[in-house]
């Protein structure tokens, strides 16, 4: 009886440990990497452009931005600091046009594109705005990933380069501070 239990325990242990091997998948990635969760957010800009954001582990990748700095600007049109920062972000987008993508992501639901485009014009926000059903989900994912929780203050600007987190800013921040971090991220 003891031999049977020992045999069963040994067999179970061997089966358990053999499941933890470091075999690779057919694409050459390790089995562990193949299991990393990945979420895809398909966003539509207020001018009809499309942005595909992929979250893989703690990284956020925007298709077509290899080598560029990406800033996700989580904002609301009723927010005074959001209104104040918009022209500064517009200045940075114009200055670093080929090296930077700023995506304005409204946290407001049921805001029409016409209304957002009027706000962009009024506050000289010359960067891309997205107005999609995925805005809320993406905003929560970004905030959760950087550790500020789901009830975060706005504006919340989060900077990535090639999908990797660089820094974030909560509230109104001087344009020069953001520009300094953009330069460091670009290696200038």
Domain boundaries, the chain: 1-35, 38-186
Which pLDDT score is estimated for 128? 96
Fill in the DSSP letter of residue 88: H
Which pLDDT score is estimated for 150? 81
Cα distance between residue 183 and residue 188, in whole Å? 5
Which pLDDT score is estimated for 171? 93
Specify the pairing of strand 69-75 against strand 59-62.
unpaired
| CATH of the structural domain 38-186, one choice from 3.40.50.2000, 3.30.465.10, 3.30.2350.10, 3.40.30.10 | 3.40.30.10
Q: Are the beta carbons of 75 and 155 closer than 8 angstroms?
A: yes
Which pLDDT score is estimated for 24? 33
**pLDDT beneath 50: ranges in the chain:** 6-34
Percent of the chain with pLDDT over 90: 74
Task: List the one residue out of 126, 98, 58, 104 whose CA is nearest residue 182.
Answer: 98
Which pLDDT score is estimated for 35? 53
Which pLDDT score is estimated for 7? 46
Which pLDDT score is estimated for 181? 97
In degrees and rounded to multiples of 5, residue 68 shows phi and psi of -100, 155
Which pLDDT score is estimated for 18? 36
Q: Are the beta carbons of 156 and 169 closer than 8 angstroms?
A: yes
């Amino acid at each position: 009886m003891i031999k049977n239990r020992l045999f069963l325990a040994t067999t179970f242990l061997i089966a358990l440990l053999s499941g933890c091997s470091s075999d690779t998948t057919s694409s050459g990635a390790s089995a562990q990497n193949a299991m990393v969760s990945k979420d895809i957010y398909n966003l539509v800009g207020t001018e009809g452009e499309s942005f595909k954001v992929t979250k893989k582990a703690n990284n956020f990748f925007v298709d077509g931005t290899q080598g560029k700095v990406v800033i996700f600007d989580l904002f609301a049109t009723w927010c005074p600091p959001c209104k104040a920062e918009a022209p500064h972000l517009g200045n940075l987008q114009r200055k670093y046009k080929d090296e930077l993508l700023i995506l304005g992501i409204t946290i407001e639901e049921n805001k029409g594109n016409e209304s957002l485009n009027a706000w962009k014009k009024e506050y000289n926000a010359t960067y891309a705005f997205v107005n999609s059903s995925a805005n809320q989900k993406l905003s929560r994912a970004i905030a959760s990933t950087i550790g500020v929780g789901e009830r975060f203050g706005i504006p919340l600007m989060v900077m990535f380069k090639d999908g990797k987190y660089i820094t974030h800013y909560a509230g109104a921040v001087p344009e020069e501070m953001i520009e300094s971090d953009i330069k460091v991220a670009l290696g200038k």
